[in-house]
Structure 1
Amino acid sequence: MKKRLIPTLVASSIAMMALPASAETTVTIGTVNNGDMIRMQELSGAFEKSHPDIKLDWVVLEENVLRQRLTTDIATKGGQFDVMTIGLYETGIWGARDWLMPLESLPADYDVDDIFPSVRDGLSVDGTLYALPFYAESSMTYYRKDLFEQAGLAMPEQPTWEQMRDFAKALHKPDQEQYGICLRGKAGWGENMALVTTVANAFGARWFDEGWKPEFTGEAWTSAIEFYVDLLGNYGPPGASSNGFNENLALFNSGKCAMWVDATVAGSFVTDASQSKVPEQVGFALAPKQVTEKGAGWLWSWALAIPASSDAKDAATEFVTWATSKQYGELVAETSGVAAVPPGTRQSTYANEAYMSAAPFAQKTLESLNKADPTDATLKPAPYTGIQLAQIPEFQSIATQVGKLVSGALAGQMSVDQAMKSAQSITEREMKRARYYN
């Protein structure tokens, strides 16, 4: 039971008077082990202090494990969680199935209109919000300005992937534990496939043609995966097929990556002297393009939602409203510095001169977010919405399996040709089973 009620005591000697009933409600929060969420947990004592009747119980998990746990719980109406950290992919699908509680009648000072429209729309179904954004991100290129200068290289505002390979080759010095490039290799639809899909987009690929048929054995996907495997296999760190966001962040902050393409949210971590050995040497560019710049940088938001199965909806609403509010951003600024305010969700953050001057990554983050268009993310027309994903229920399962194949090719367990043929077969089977086509 999540609620522990203390019964009202009635004293017979005090006519018509009783001690008031009190209750402590436990709100169980499932979240990912990213830096901003860990900070949210650390600061949550301020919430509990102002809400003494609410106790927060945290379940902090690695991304792939979190997604599996939350998906199982929401689909079975298990009721293990009162707050779920989910994203643009899950919110629309789960909200449409009435698995999430609509978040309406928010307090006026929450200022819903301050949220970037693309983020607000992505977390809504038919104009109703089903999750509140904790932070939002696109992807961009991080690079070591000092290493580029020493090598006589210049990073363009938006490099091509071929230029990135040339840079990586020039800067790769494994004997000194300096690797040309760090990229996601860990299997997962939200791990390696987030990055890999943007590479594929840039090479002109798409997940499905206009008739919902996959194209993994086509020229665009094959070229993209061959390039990715060659680039990361030759100029990346050892064991790259095991590295996700957190592993690459640790490598970059320890000074071992000359370049890294990943989420814009990492900007505050790579420039934080308490976390990074190279905070003054980090440069920023847009995510690489190739034959097109469409879909080169992704769009994602980690958001807080309340499952319909929760028995603590009111208390959960209090928490998610607090954790995604302007006031929470002010608390972060006070405790960790203004550059650490959760990025990408509120227009007021980027209108704040103090933030823009303190956060060297802010302008490039804003530019990347403004370029990201989930409705037009591929060179050829596509039937789905999404940049690094296709917002259909089947995508999670399909992309998880494809992610394992791509990671296997990177690790040398199979050829790219074998991986793409298997990806094609798996995806065709799943899409036919779901009756997208015969």
Structure 2
Amino acid sequence: MTLRMPHLGLVTTALVLLGAGMASAEETITIATVNNADVTRMQRLTGVFNKEHPDIHINWVVLEENLLRQRVTQDIATNGGQFDVVTIGNYEVPIWAKQGWLKPLDDLPASYDVNDLIPSVAASASYEDKLYGLPFYAESSITMYRTDLAKKAGVTIPEKPTWAEITAAAKAMNDPSAGVYGICLRGKPGWGINTSFLTSMTNSYGGRWFDMDWKPQFDSPEWKEALDKYLELMKNYGPPGAVGNEFNDNLALFETGKCAIWIDASVGASVITDPKEAKFAKDVGFARFPHKDGVDNYGSWLWAWTLSVPASSKHAQAAETFISWVTSKDYTDLVAREDGWGHAPPGTRQSLYANPEYRKSAPFADVTLDSIKAVDVKHPSVQDVPYLGTQWVGIPEFQGIGTAVGQVFSSALSGQITAEQALSQAQTLTEREMKRAGY
């Protein structure tokens, strides 16, 4: 049997004799994944998998989020076969499964315990009631803040804050002369970066991407109010260079004490509460994603980084063996033994939130679970919508449109155009692309 290794050509592997005349060939699976702390941990702990499966070798391709999406989408859409495992989100899973680009994961061992997956997360990684992705971790959007700075500034952030309360708190805690900025939000353009944040923020203001006739809504008062508030917060109380900041950048700012309020993915909570990682780990509080006063929508998003097997994979069985291991309850236990329960992959399994050891180690457990449970992908806005989604819109065109819109919003943040010009451009380009797509 020959071994396929990207960029290294074809080499011949030795056959390993097993039992009474049985033979199995070594295989290398190539995994495309995102550059974050949980994946770094995954790579470090994979030695345990290697001992259990010495015939399966792993070639890692770890990329920044935007580049990962570009590389994976290009490969899978062209049936390139470069990757055996792809790290994608619950936005892509149903769309790609419908296209026939992913293998169904319907032959998992009983020990995997599919029924332990949080139902909303499992449903988001499925198409026509079949799993096409195994959730590695899931997240919602929450507010994280420095309790010591809030106390010093004389402000209180409630469990369900309004944007007005967040603005007052960011202003009070903002102290650039001391190297502390009031708030950190995503500024880098990308459909899964600044567009995701602003979509959730607009949902929390009562807005939506499209009306029931698929007409874009950037000319609505909700989008204007949300964008104005975003720009006010970022320009007045955000760190310099915020236009280039994504999740990892803001995480670094917060854990080094340079950011007072951070509103982002709940998965960051395990890092900023770890004394080994964060300077002020014991001084962190948590709240729901903010909302506009009078609007019953907290902008909670639902994102699951899932591990899927492309239909083009030549090593599908080995790939499935790996992803079922790294998303299992045994892997969760392994993380807990090695790094503590606070670092267990969150948001995917009901058993984790029923575990008293985890709850003791994770002060963010309740707000994360409450936020995930609050998500309704059929009703991301208080207004009716023709799409599924939360911080994304579940149509194939959103990836391109969302990225283009993100560039426009980035231009507004950098001061190249006004908020009004940004919304007008977003409206025009989205209308154009939706007409081209035949909506």
State TM-score, norm by structure 2.
0.95
Q: CA deviation at 1:369?
A: 1.0
Tell me which residue corresponds to 2:8. Answer: none
SS in 1 for 2:282: helix
Q: Which amino acid aligns with 1:397?
A: G
From the superposition, tell whether residues 7 and 336 of structure 1 become closer, same or farther in structure 2 (CA, over 3 Å): closer
Residue in structure 2 matching 1:319, options 322, 334, 359: 322
Instruction: Determine the structure 1 residue equivalent to 2:129.
Output: 127
Distance 1:118 1:224 in 2: 27
Q: 2:362 aligned to 359, 362, 368, which one?
A: 359
Q: What is the aligned residue count? A: 430
Q: What is the aligned partner in structure 1 of residue 421 from structure 2? A: 418
What SS does the aligned partner of 1:279 have? coil
The reply on whether 1:394 has 2:397 as its aligned counterpart is yes
Which residue of structure 2 lines up, in the alignment, with residue 296 of structure 1?
A: 299
Residues 253 and 207 of structure 1: CA distance in aligned 2, closer, same or farther (over 3 Å): same
Write the distance in 1 (CA, Å) between the matches of 2:264 and 2:14: 53
TM-align CA RMSD: 1.6
8 Å CA contact 1:5, 1:24 repeated in 2: no
Consecutive unaligned residues of structure 2, counting only runs of 5 or more, are: 6-10
Question: Is the aligned partner of 1:385 residue 2:388?
Answer: yes
**2:335 maps to 1:332:** yes
- The runs of 4+ residues in structure 1 deviating greater than 6 Å are 7-10, 17-20
Given that 1:172 and 1:179 are in contact with CA atoms closer than 8 Å, whether structure 2 keeps it comes out as: yes
Is 1:241 matched up with 2:243? yes
Deviation track 1:199-221 (CA, whole Å, cap 9, x = no partner) reads 11111210000000101122111
How far did residue 293 of structure 1 move?
Answer: 3.4
Pairwise mapping of residues 106-121 of structure 1 onto structure 2 (< 5 A)?
Answer: 106-121=108-123
Which of residues 306, 310, 318 is equivalent to 1:307? 310
Whether the 8 Å CA contact 2:133–2:307 is kept in 1: the answer is: yes
The aligned residue for residue 54 of structure 2 is 52
Change in 2 beyond 3 A, CA 1:233/1:2: same
Q: Letter of the aligned partner of 1:177 in structure 2?
A: G
* Number of the residue aligned with 2:434: 431
* Distance in 2 (alpha carbons) for counterparts of 1:21 and 1:366: 46
Tell me which amino acid in the other structure corresponds to 1:200: T
Structure 2 residue 229 is the aligned partner of structure 1 residue 227: yes
For residues 63 and 8 of structure 1, what CA distance do their matches in structure 2 show? 37
Letter in 2 for 1:350: Y
Q: CA deviation at 1:421?
A: 0.9
Q: Which residue of 2 aligns with 1:13?
A: none
Identity of aligned residues (%): 52
CA contact (8 A) 1:6 1:21 kept: no
Q: SS of the counterpart of 1:2? A: strand
8 A Cα contact 1:9 1:18, kept in partner: no
SS of alignment partner, residue 241 of structure 1:
helix
Q: Deviations over 1:233-258 (max 9, x none)?
A: 11100011100000000000000111
Answer whether contact 1:294 1:376 (CA < 8 A) is retained: no
Gaps of at least 5 residues in structure 1 are 11-16
User: Which secondary structure does the structure 1 equivalent of 2:203 belong to?
Assistant: helix
Q: Of 40, 43, 53, which aligns to 2:42?
A: 40
SS at match of 1:228: helix
The aligned residue for residue 212 of structure 2 is 210
1:268 alignment partner in structure 2: 270
Distance 2:326 2:147 in 1: 35
Taking the aligned partners of 1:18 and 1:103, their CA distance within structure 2 comes to: 30
Residue type at the aligned position of 2:245: N
**Within 1, Cα distance between the matches of 2:24 and 2:137?**
34
Corresponding residue of 1:79 = 81
Question: Please, what TM-score do these two structures have when normalized by structure 1?
Answer: 0.96
Post-superposition Cα deviations, 1:274-315, rounded to whole Å, max 9, x if no partner, equal 110000000000110114232511111000000000000010
Q: Give the conservation status (yes or no) of the 8 Å contact 1:185–1:241.
A: yes
- Do the aligned residues in 1 keep the contact of 2:155 with 2:172 (CA within 8 Å)? no
Q: In the alignment, is the contact (CA less than 8 A) between 1:185 and 1:410 conserved in 2?
A: yes
Partner of 1:407: 410
Q: Is the 8 A contact 1:295 1:372 kept in 2?
A: no
Deviations 1:74-123 (A, max 9, x none): 10011110000001100000001110000012111100000011011111
Question: 1:198 and 1:151 mapped to 2: Cα distance?
Answer: 28
Gap change, CA 1:218 and 1:123, over 3 Å in 2:
same
CA 5–219 in structure 1, closer or farther in 2 if over 3 Å, else same: same
SS in 2 for 1:284: strand
Larger CA deviation: 105-114 vs 284-293? 284-293
Amino acid at match of 1:387: T
